Amino acid sequence: MEAFLHQIFSGLAAGGIYASVALALVMIYTATHHINFAQGEMAMFATFIGWALIEWGGLNFWVAFLLTIVIAFCGGFAIERIVLRPLHDKPVLSIIIAFIGLLVIFNALAGWIFGFTIKAFPSPFPTSPPFGNRFLNWHEIGTVGITVVVLLLLFAFFRLTPLGLAMRAAAFNPESARLVGIRVGLMLALGWGLAAAIGSVAGMLVAHVVYLDPNMMAGILLYGFASALLGGIDNPGGAVVGGFIVGVAENVLGAYVIGTELKLSVALVLIIGVLLVKPAGLFGRRIVTRV
Amino acid sequence: MQLGSRFGVAAVAAAALALAAPALAQKKYDTGASDKEIVFGHTNPYSGPASAYGTIGRALEAYFKKVNEEQGGVNGRKLRMITYDDGYSPPKTVEMVRRLIEQDEVLFLFNTLGTPPNSAIHKYMNAKKVPQLFVATGATKWNDPKGHPWTMGWQPNYQIEGQIYAKYTLKEKPNAKIGILYQNDDYGKDYLKGFKDGLGAAGQKLIVKELSYEVTDPTVDSQIIELKGAGADVFFNITTPKFAAQAIRKAYDIGWKPLHFLNNVSASVGSVLVPAGLEKSVDIISTQYFKDPTDPQWANDPAYKAWSDWMDKYYPNGDKKDASNVYGYNVAMGLIQVLKQCGDELTRENIMKQAASLKNFDLPMLLPGIKVNTSPTDFAPIDQEQLIKFDGKMWVRFGEVLGGSGS
């Protein structure tokens, strides 16, 4: 029983990680209607910047944390302007190739600058077991907490602010949005910036758990995809719930049903299953496009 | 009588050959060797998932640069290593190796890295009869002088190491409940086999749980919880550095304190135990065969200083905490010895012959008591290891040097 509870809580902790990555994917999808394959590597690179600020710059964790988010936002903004804007009216395939190119570039760049040995990333949370239990530690609770806060902020931003509305409009129907005076190009770049910023938050939370190295996000991104698809690729709340479901399911199935060898297959089966059976995901809206 | 005279003729011919031999042996080259230089090939994952090992290739280049600059090469010939990135992808290794042999015309391959890449070129190299020398992998299959006379390993293989832990367990904890976590590939399974062989049929009953993980898994936390849940009090941790650090930390955090064997692959203080937390790594047992550059006990060791000076001068942007740079230094020195022994007879056959006749060869950055030994029937140059235990600051050696041809 104790082991079972342990698996559940450890699954929730992992779910928090997948949820934050899924959030970034949803963000960029909501803003641009693309799935960014380089999302994980961008988050990893931002995390390295955070690490450098703390280790080399000697900054306090939270200062470095906020600074990294700002840098990541600017980086994402710049990438959209420099790399993706010229591809604006090109076929989807060229954009995907650009994403894959970005993935390779960030991965190699991180290795070149920071090296490949794993690095311990500090956690801002206390190390003592919270409330005297050993099932969850403060970092895991903090990860879940921050993910939920980010989710609420995003929700408020998209639902309650004019800028959020403008961004949704720009992604959903660029022509009409432009006609009512929304600067669609700027909105896309902002969307990229926001997604990069959320990714950097996810990266900095993940890095303490899985250790920081250039290949840190490779496995996680796949689970992030599964979570986002399960919850609905256009629904931030769904993505977070999806993350927790994937985390717990992966742990419990791995430990008691299918064995550890097939854990990754759970994510792949989920992706394919969702796409086949319910492409909109559990909480996503079905979108009907007039052609 | 007839038999006798034939023997006589043969003897005369042999004597004539023997007399002529020095003149012939003076200079004999295969492709890739000349009066001026020796050209050989190398592949390494400078990019991709295993790119952490890329530093070995750079360390090799840095060492040959030192030999070329300070000693003018070996026996008056400069060393030129052509190195290609294979990204740890076997099909790419095949492509690069064909290019090295058929286009660049190298004399031999040296220290090609990784079990899957080397497996992919194993047959080709032996069919082409080009030496595949001192491969950078701990798999056991490279020690096969009869079946694959053109391939030779270098470091102690995983099975020897697994056996060392098994014997230690049987001796110190005969009623152990053993839990195992291994990477689900050739490397993990090789260790597992050695460990089980060492336990023997009766000993294998002591295993209560055997779990695997994939390199793509984000964490191994779930497996550690399961091993603890199974009641294991001995833990054989067959993981690569990132997962090793995760496993050590998780075991400590959930209050599991087994007799913990950590495979040598992840026995680096700087790149595994420091990230995991030194206080969480106390009492872990592992094996070593060369000096860990982050271990303070070598700080004043002349061999360490020489290594450190070489790093400063020839590989200044290399990481001095990374044990791979000691690995590269050692194996490069091993090659220099082989080439020295070859003299002016730089043929592929002679290279294998000389590589197979290293006797008690001493490398300064190997642990005291560990020597390089090969013979025509022993293609495992280093086959001894030393048990070590972590005391919270550094690895402390205990017991005798184990393994080797004696066991």
What residue has token string 């004696």? B406
Give the residue on A whose Cα is nearest the Cα of B228.
A3
Of the ranges A253-267, B77-91, B327-341, B389-403, which one carries the lowest mean pLDDT score? A253-267
User: Which residues of chain A have a CB within 8 Å of the CB of B254?
Assistant: 6, 134
User: Which residues of chain B have a CB within 8 Å of the CB of A260?
Assistant: 184, 211-213, 222-223
User: What proportion of chain B, given as a percentage, has pLDDT over 90?
Assistant: 73
Q: What is the rounded CA–CA span in Å between residue A119 and residue B275?
A: 6
Q: Residue B406: what pLDDT?
A: 39
Q: Residue B224: what pLDDT?
A: 93
**Once rounded to an integer, what is the mean pLDDT over residues A202-207?**
90
CATH number assigned to the domain with residue range A2-277, chosen from the 4 options 2.60.40, 2.170.140, 2.40.128, 1.10.3470: 1.10.3470
**Once rounded to an integer, what is the mean pLDDT over residues A59-63?**
92
DSSP three-state, residue A67:
helix
The conformation of residue A117, written as its DSSP 8-state character, comes to S
Is B97 in contact with B23 (CB distance < 8 Å)? no
What is the β-pairing status of strands B395-403 and B384-390?
antiparallel
What residue has token string 């790149």? B271
CB contact under 8 A, B52 and A222: no
Q: Residue B366: what pLDDT?
A: 96
Smallest Cα–Cα separation from A223: which of B120, B214, B304?
Answer: B214
Q: What is the rounded CA–CA span in Å between residue B387 and residue B287?
A: 5
Mutate to test the interface with B, among A1, A7, A113, A118 (most CBs of B within 10 A): A118
Q: What is the rounded CA–CA span in Å between residue A219 and residue A257?
A: 21
Residue B125 sits at φ, ψ, to 5 deg, of -60, -40
Query: Do the two domains B37-156+298-384 and B158-288 of this chain adopt the same fold?
Result: yes
Q: Residue A235: what pLDDT?
A: 85
Q: Residue A7: what pLDDT?
A: 85
Q: Regarding the domain with residue range B37-156+298-384, which homologous superfamily does it belong to in the CATH classification?
A: Response regulator (3.40.50.2300)
Best-predicted range by mean pLDDT (A55-59, A70-74, A224-228, A258-262): A70-74
The residue ranking higher by pLDDT, B8 or A235, is: A235
Q: What is the rounded CA–CA span in Å between residue B143 and residue B377?
A: 9
Q: Where are the domains of chain B?
A: 37-156+298-384, 158-288
Residues on chain A bordering chain B, Cβ-to-Cβ distance under 8 angstroms: 2-3, 6-7, 10-11, 13-14, 17, 107-108, 111, 115-120, 134, 137, 206, 209-211, 213-215, 218-220, 222-223, 250-251, 254-255, 260-261, 263-264
The residue ranking higher by pLDDT, A260 or B1, is: A260
CB contact under 8 A, A254 and B222: yes
| DSSP result, B280-313 | GSTT-EEEESB--TT-GGGTT-HHHHHHHHHHHH
Residues on chain B bordering chain A, Cβ-to-Cβ distance under 8 angstroms: 47, 49, 51-52, 54-55, 184, 211-219, 221-223, 225-226, 228-229, 241-242, 245-246, 253-255, 270-272, 274-276, 319, 321-322
The partner residue sitting opposite B225, judged by closest CB among A6, A214, A264, is A6
The rounded radius of gyration (Å) of the Cα atoms in chain A is: 19
Average pLDDT, chain A: 87
CATH number of B158-288: 3.40.50.2300
**Once rounded to an integer, what is the mean pLDDT over residues A53-72?**
93
Q: Where are the domains of chain A?
A: 2-277
State the pLDDT confidence band at B356, using cuts at 50, 70 and 90: very high
Task: Compute how many other C-beta atoms are within 10 angstroms of the C-beta atom of residue B15.
Answer: 10
**Once rounded to an integer, what is the mean pLDDT over residues B281-293?**
93
Q: Residue B1: what pLDDT?
A: 41
What is the β-pairing status of strands B207-213 and B178-183?
parallel
Instruction: Check the CA dihedral B66-B69-B70-B72 and report its sign.
Output: positive
Could you tell me the two tokens for B382?
């280093």
Q: Residue A291: what pLDDT?
A: 63
**Once rounded to an integer, what is the mean pLDDT over residues B236-250?**
94
pLDDT tens track for A136-146: 778 888 888 88
Q: Residue B7: what pLDDT?
A: 52
Q: Which residues contact B11 (CB under 8 A, 6 or more apart)?
A: none
Q: How many helices (H) and strands (E) does chain B have?
A: 12, 13
Q: Residue A147: what pLDDT?
A: 87
Mutate to test the interface with A, among B58, B242, B243 (most CBs of A within 10 A): B242
User: Which residues of chain A have a CB within 8 Å of the CB of B217?
Assistant: 219, 263-264
What residue has token string 């079946």? B147
Distances (CA, A) of A108 to A89, A113, B122: 28, 9, 29
**Single-letter amino acid code for the residue at A169:** A
Give the residue on B whose Cα is nearest the Cα of A18.
B218
pLDDT tens track for A99-133: 999 998 998 899 888 877 788 898 888 877 666 66
Is B297 in contact with A93 (CB distance < 8 Å)? no
ipTM score assigned to the predicted complex: 0.84
Mutate to test the interface with A, among B51, B213, B248 (most CBs of A within 10 A): B51
